[in-house]
Amino acid sequence: MPGYFKINRFTKSSDNGGPHIELLARGGRNTDSIKHGCEATTYHSNTYLDGRVKFEKDLMHTDGYTKKDPEKRYAITSPLSGRWIGIKAVFYNLPAGNARMELWIDNNGLNNKTGLPSNNWTRVFEFTDDGDWAGGHTKCGGSNNTVITWGGPIAVFRWDRIWT
């Protein structure tokens, strides 16, 4: 799931981890307004303005969020505000039944003259969900450490407390 983003303004709020761009996959509609939170089972890839990146797992929206999510501080060292940046989240299954997540950054973003992406991707973070990543509560028929190996119909590009 690649996307190019330009952050023009953001709030100082630290709710939900502060301003960030979030890419979600493997689930359905991801909102509090649906009655069936199991539909919103997803993996999340978060990129924060302070350079931190993190993966989240939501097994039932919103009670199913895991605890102790894997993250890496200072994965991005250049300020994100006021420039284009490419963010790509990759989610795939491994032969052993695990799910692999990768976060890639195109720090050069879009060319200001041509508007074309530089496509200079660097992997900044990776994590394998091998079934030990647990937390949250689920009423969806699985355990709280279920590995999400199925594909859902919706992929989401989202930003919290950011104006692009």
Quote the pTM value.
Answer: 0.90
- What pLDDT was estimated at residue 9? 85
Quick: pLDDT tens for 30-49.
666 656 677 778 899 999 99
Q: Is the Cβ–Cβ distance between 131 and 98 less than 8 Å?
A: yes
- Mapped onto helix, strand or coil, the DSSP state of residue 94 is coil
The 8-class DSSP code of residue 7 comes to B
* Tens digits of pLDDT across the chain (164 residues): 999 999 888 887 766 678 899 999 998 776 666 566 777 788 999 999 999 999 998 887 766 677 789 999 999 988 888 999 999 999 999 999 999 999 999 999 999 899 999 999 999 999 999 999 987 777 788 888 899 999 888 888 988 888 76
- What pLDDT was estimated at residue 92? 97
SS3 content of the chain, % helix, strand, coil (to 5): 5, 45, 50
- What pLDDT was estimated at residue 137? 73
- What pLDDT was estimated at residue 33? 61
Distance from C-alpha of 148 to C-alpha of 130, rounded to nearest angstrom: 10
Phi, psi (deg, nearest 5) at residue 112: -65, -30
Quick: pLDDT tens for 56-70.
988 877 666 777 899
Distance from C-alpha of 142 to C-alpha of 140, rounded to nearest angstrom: 6
